[in-house]
Amino acid sequence: MDTDSRLEREQFVSHLNGTTTIEILSLTSLMPISILFRQCVIALIGIKLNRSNQWSRFTLDVACLCLPFLLSCTIMYDYCYVLFVTMITIIVASILWRYQQPPRHSLSKKKIDFNNLNVSCQLKFISYYRIEVNICTAIAILAVDFKIFPRCLAKAETYGHGLMDIGVGCFVLAAAIVAPEARYSIYRYNKKAQTARGKDNNLHQGNASAPFSSSLVKSLKSIMPLVVIGVGRLIATAGINYQLHVSEYGVHWNFFFTLAAIRLLASLIFIIIPISLSGLIGACIGVFYQVTLTNYNLKDVIISGFDGSGGRNGIIEANREGIFSCIGYLSLYLIGIEIGKQLLKPISSLTRWLKVLVTLIIVDIVLWELTWFNAELFEPVSRRFANFSYVLWMLAFMAFNIFMYLLVELISTYFTMTGNFCEEMPLAGCSVCTPTLELRDTELKMTKQDSSDRNRTCACLYAAIERNQLGYFLLANVMTGSVNLSMNTIRVDNILAAVILVGYIYAVSFIIVVLHVNKVTTKIW
């Protein structure tokens, strides 16, 4: 890439101020709604599509799960609320129409006591959240390079928040809520349950810290791929003179180094401090970092360097944004682990899930109040610093999104149980990748797949991304770079840009589904 083109593109994404939180929440709310929208569309057209042509269903997946968000932040940005209302209308119409039809299965013939109904399956709303983070990121990292993508949605330079400012925070939280430290709560819960039933548990025998006796070695092993990818990206971008927004991470630092650093630091912390204190330690680190930023002029160092001239001399000064922001992201990661410990606890009662739903919205309101208070009293939200206002903002944002995904899944579960949705086409999946629902006495159970299903694969987009989440993200990065190298994206008109973006997300999704159909998993560590 020639220098003039690189400088022009860097300027195109620099010195921006972001948009409002309400707008960001409105745009991202389309993602959980898209999942229910897909199921309602399938309920309207019937289930023949599921049994015959799986590649037609894949195209339907892309249209229902990817295009609404893509359109809302590009050509339909000024009319995103129209898109939102249209999808809700189709969902409501589908439900009302299905109520007029005979039930698809025998579940609805039974008298269901929803107050005492047990859901003996782990809901997948956390998986949906993590997958949608990948899809939104894949769309945004290329769309931002075109004029069709509103500048207010791009990353804010220092203070403020655009749509893309949630990207790294969402990835950190998506990793935290399913981290080994968070999943440890399930192990302890199951161990207590098996002990109460008189069963022996041979896994992780010994004291409570046994699963983490070699945590540092395991952590190093898990972060090595991230380090290798980060180094590879650094070499590749430097070699082709690729565009670089220096004030985002620094000269050499990148997103993969940040993820690797916080995972390593968290493992070191848990060697000394009990996992049960992860949330408290995370909050303390965030507060300490915020005090250092505001009271000890660390923010001036991050903005202008150690000598105040804005120079990039030395490895630390050259990458000061990436290095210092790791402290804020570490705070976010540790608090995210605490949230994961609560969300991953096995819950079998539908009533208890409804209580979780109410708890989430209450916690979310409290977090938004804390975000406003911290931003007014100390410092506005800044992704560049990853300050405590940003940490609280991301936690509030995640709580809202988790609430939305859980709400959508509970709605889907209810209408599947009552026979209005087809149990053979579960939410965001099919009967191959997601076991079907069956009511037995007072329990809602997942029926086991038969031998033919176990030997088959499907072309469901969510199942494919869930198998290869890192692979999907890397593929999107590679294809984004290829598009940028093949054309000057700033000069592309809006219609052509929209066509390119649709073709791009279809191609990325198609490749990842082909890998899934052929049972190829890119995670090799």
User: Is residue 358 in some structural domain?
Assistant: no
User: Is residue 324 in some structural domain?
Assistant: yes
User: Is residue 314 in some structural domain?
Assistant: yes
Residue 103 is predicted with a pLDDT of 58
The answer to whether 356 touches 346, Cβ cutoff 8 Å, is: no
Domain extent, residue 332, equals: 179-187+209-343
Residue 208 is predicted with a pLDDT of 43
The model's pTM is 0.90
d(CA 372, CA 102): 50
Residue 199 is predicted with a pLDDT of 47
* C-alpha torsion 288→291→292→294, nearest 10: 160
User: Is residue 300 in some structural domain?
Assistant: yes
User: Is residue 142 in some structural domain?
Assistant: no
User: Is residue 218 in some structural domain?
Assistant: yes
User: Is residue 92 in some structural domain?
Assistant: no
Backbone angles phi, psi at 122, to 5 degrees: -85, 120
d(CA 354, CA 362): 13
How many distinct structural domains can be found in the chain? 1
* C-alpha torsion 100→103→104→106, nearest 10: 180
Rg (CA), the chain: 24
CA-CA distances (angstroms) from residue 101 to 48, 113, 242, 405? 17, 22, 57, 27
Average pLDDT by stretches of 10, the chain with 525 residues: 84 91 94 91 66 76 94 93 92 80 54 58 84 95 95 94 94 94 67 51 40 66 90 92 90 94 93 91 97 93 88 91 96 96 83 90 96 94 96 97 93 72 62 57 49 63 92 95 93 95 97 91 69
User: Is residue 246 in some structural domain?
Assistant: yes
Residue 138 is predicted with a pLDDT of 96
